Every structure is written in structure tokens, then in C-alpha cells.
Chain A
Amino acid sequence: MSELKFEPKIVAFVCTYCTYAGADLAGTSRLKYAPNVRIVRLPCTGRISPMFILKALQKGADGVLVSGCHPGDCHFTHGNYHARRRWMVFRALLDFTGISPERVMFSWISAAEGSKFADLINSVTEDIRKLGPFDQYQQLIKETESPATL
């Protein structure tokens, strides 16, 4: 088992109007990017509750990416401004309690930025690969005896 190469599991929460469309563009442009990311599409970054991030970790993710429209581009005009404040506070909280901010990342990717999406996924995957599996958290998951389903 230990011979197996570590493949990071990354969960991406994206908004449907920008980042998901950007991911779509990456796909239709036949851009190749790391297959380590599981994308969850939501109506808006404002809908991305911090609970989602915790849930992803609870299911065994090594890293989480949250991404939405650039400021000013939100389909609902200001969902991403609300989200930005929330992330800032939540990020500080995770940092203080020992979840390294390198494991939970945030980005703005528009519908036109297919190549930014592909590049970001690649670089995020590499970063998490370097950090290694989130052993501390996965140890906790094991203690609960519930399966990490990711």
C-alpha cells in the first residue's frame, strides 16, 4: 500500500456562472489538467457555506478550493462580496485552529478564463501534493469509524 503514490483529493466549490463556465471552457478547449479535483457546482459563491468546506474535509479531502466570479461580475450583483468577507474570517479561524490556509484556497475565475482554471487546478494539485495527505484530519476520521467517502 505504502508504495502507492499519493494522489491528492481536492474538492472545488464553484459558482455556476463564472468558474463552472470557466471549467467548461477549459474542457471544450481541450485543455488538460490534473484529474484530482472533484467539482461541486453551486448557484453563487454566496451560497458556499463554510460548512461545505468542513464537510469536504470530513469526507477525506486533502485540499479545498473555492472559486467564483471576479468582484463586480457576480450574477446576483454582490454574492461574491458577501462570500469574500466570510472567507476571510473563516480562513483566519481555520488558521488559528490548525488547518493550514494552504489547504483551503480561494480564487476568482471568470467564464472566459478556461486556461486560468486549468493552470490553477494544476498548481493547486501540485501544492497539495507537496503538503502531503492531511494525515491529522484523516486520523480523526478514522477514529469515528465512518468511511471517508471521497
Chain B
Amino acid sequence: MITQERYRTTVKELLANGSIKMAIGYRLGSTPDRRRPLFIRTSEEADQLVLDSTCMTNLSGYLVTEGLLSDEKKVGIFLRPEGIRSINILAAEYQLNADQIVIFGFDSTGRDVRPLDGRNVGEFSKLLNEIKEHPLQIVKEPLHWRIEKMNAKERFDFWQEEFSRCIKCYACRQACPMCYCRRCIVDSNQPQWINTSSHTLGNFEWNIVRAFHLSGRCVQCGNCDRACPVNIPLRLINQRMANEVLDGFDHFAGLSPTQEPVLASFKKDDTETFIL
């Protein structure tokens, strides 16, 4: 509550003195445990701001909305550490100018919300490096271990079972801040790479491609997981890929706004044990 009140005041101040033209935060949603995005332009709107442990959504995707940042004015945004990482990635991929983003950082343990120090993305680099050093919790998920123990056939069956529920709504893509392409590969029909109907083969291809395009870019915010109407454990695949680039290339996505994207760079001595 204190954090929320403080941030309301901060946002009002910054709006009043013109340092930001808008702040993106959370407001009450349709159920007690849901929050919806709030776009604050006035001090009255700032009073609707809610900040508590149920504010999970990574809002950074809204920043790449067409035209939002083109006037070079600053925009404030409420972000958890994962969200801050996605700002770094968006900046590294030239989707936005990190200096235009004013960060209102927060994190939560249990029901307690605490603010994070810093306003510019650069000020969080110590925090992000600490996160890199600490193994991510999701790896310990029982499901992950279960899959690691399976053989290829069992894994295939496991994922077919999961993917067979997919209805190709593309909510996972829309919800992901890293999926900003104007024209996604699944929307292309000349050539058509992926079967568009939602039979299992098409679903499998779609989910593989989605995971591949997010390899080394996913920040584990969980937007996709929460968006999926049929509860496919999408984040699990992304986590596996994040571990892969961390082990293989010591790459932790979103450490700084100038970090080279892992799949757009190389080292001459990259491992190649698998090449015949």
C-alpha cells in the first residue's frame, strides 16, 4: 500500500512537471486477482493506479505501440525485473530508445510489494546481474524434471498431447513483449511455412517456431503462460532455451541496452561437438 501511494504521488509529480507524457501501470480488473493495464495521462487517472502482488503482466509490449515514442517524449512504466530486461532487449534490437523510458520498478515477495531503486534502465544493471547469477526458480519445476527424464518418443507424445489443445489463437504471441514483428511468420502465406489450421501438426510447428524465435530473448515474464486459454506450459520451453543459451554462450537476455542478440552474433570458438 505504501509503495502504491508513493508511486501515485511520483507519477503525479512527473506528469505535472512534464518529465513524462504518460505512465503505464495497473488498475483493478474484472476479478479480485486480476489487473488490467492503465494508461495514466492525468492526475485523476493516477488515482486509479493499483500496485500489489497480483500485478504480474509485463507491460513493456505497449511501449512499441506504433507512434507512442515517436515524439521523443518520455513515458513512464511499471515493471518487474523481467520487464526491465525486456526494455533492454527492445533497446538492443533498436525497437525503442531506452532513454525515453522512465522505469517505476517493483518486485514482490508473497503479498508484499517493494519498489526498486532507479529510473533509467542503466541503473538496474547490478540487480539484473544478480538475477543472472542466481539460478531461476522455474528450472526446479517438477514438470521440467519429468521431461528431462523422458526419451525422445515420450517427449514427443508429451508435447503432442499439450499442443493438441492449442487453438491457434496467437494470444501467446500478442501477449509477449518480445513478439513485436509487424508481420509474423505465421501470417505469411507466400510461402506458407506453418500449417494454419489448428491440427496437431500445425500446432507443433507453430509452437516450435515461436519458441525458436524467442530463444535467447525470452525474459520469463510469463505473459504467454497466462494468456494461453488452454494452459499449455509455454514458459517451460522458453526456459529450456534460456538455459541453453546461458550454458552454451553465457548469454542472459536483457542485461543491458547494448547487449548483442545471441542469435545475431557468434564467436569463432563456439562449441560444435555435434557437427559431423
Contact of B275 among A84, A97, A98 (CB under 8 A): A84
Q: How many residues of A contact B (CB 8 A)?
A: 40
- Summarize A's interface: helix, strand, loop or mixed: helix
Using C-beta atoms within 8 Å of the partner chain, give the interface range for chain B: 35 or more
Given that A89-B244, A98-B156 are contacting pairs, would A78 and B266 also be in contact in the complex, using a CB cutoff of 8 Å? yes
Contact of A88 among B150, B155, B248 (CB under 8 A): B248
Task: Determine if A54 is an interface residue (Cβ-Cβ < 8 Å).
Answer: yes
Interface code B166-208, partner A: CB below 8 Å = 1, 0 otherwise? 0000000000000000000100000001110101111011011
Residues of A within 8 A of B62 (CB): none
A136 and B272 within 8 A (CB)? no
Contact of B158 among A78, A84, A98, A140 (CB under 8 A): A98
Of the candidate stretches B90-98, B106-114, B119-127, B211-219, the one touching chain A is B211-219
Residues of B within 8 A of A137 (CB): 201
Interface code A76-89, partner B: CB below 8 Å = 1, 0 otherwise? 00100110111111
**B-binding residues in A (CB < 8 A):** 50-51, 54-55, 58, 71-72, 78, 81-82, 84-101, 105-108, 120, 136-137, 140-141, 143-144, 146
Q: A50-B212, A98-B158 are in contact. List 13 more A-B contacts (CB 8 A).
A: A54-B209, A58-B195, A71-B272, A89-B244, A93-B215, A97-B204, A98-B150, A98-B155, A99-B156, A106-B276, A107-B275, A136-B156, A137-B201
